[in-house]
Amino acid sequence: MLVKPRLAVPLICLVVCLALASCASLPPSNRDNLCAVFVEQDGWYPDAQKAAQKWGIPVAVIMAIMHQESRFVADAKPPRTWLLGIVPWFRPSSAYGYAQAKDETWDVYLHKAGSWWSDRDDFADAADFIGWYCHISHAKLGIVANDAKNLYLAYHEGHRGFQQKTHVRSVWLRRVADKVALRARYFQKQLSECKMTASNQ
């Protein structure tokens, strides 16, 4: 099939744009080293730092929560349930993107702090969302800004759920929150070391 010359340039541009978009959405190759993540994903550190400064939540905490929620996969979604064990069925929630923000919570964010062009599969917007939500947890629930464990519990259960201590009944969730807190400490250590290395060069 021949492509007319007038259509060739727009078609090529479309193909290139789609290819670039698919590459941009690839997660970091080393998701457990924050320095490596920020080196590989150009622009992520300034975006995370901007969210941290705006909302008063450390970069390491924001990134630890994002790591737990999506493993830095832009279009992450909860796995589908299975009907009768063989038929792919509905997803358990509308959570989507880097921050795994649900539709209703994302809509509140757009109204209160985001903008009409904010997207859940955009890293900067997702980092800002996590910072915003944790800032509310800090202001409303009195959770210290670097307390990754309780910030994650409030993030996962919602502010009302955290107040009602729904996490107390879930051993699994408390273990996950401990893992997020440990990762935040590792991320903070890594970030401090790579900053030191960069300053010495």
Residue type present at position 18: L
Residue 77's pLDDT is: 79
What CATH number does the domain located at 29-200 have? 1.10.530.10
Identify the segments of the chain with pLDDT beneath 70: 1-25, 78-93, 196-201
Give residue-wise pLDDT tens across range 114-126: 788 899 999 999 9
Whether the Cβ atoms of residue 180 and residue 149 lie closer than 8 Å to each other:
yes
Q: What is the pTM of this model?
A: 0.82
Give residue-wise pLDDT tens across range 140-166: 999 999 999 999 999 999 999 999 999
Cα pseudo-dihedral 47, 160, 148, 138, rounded to 10: 70
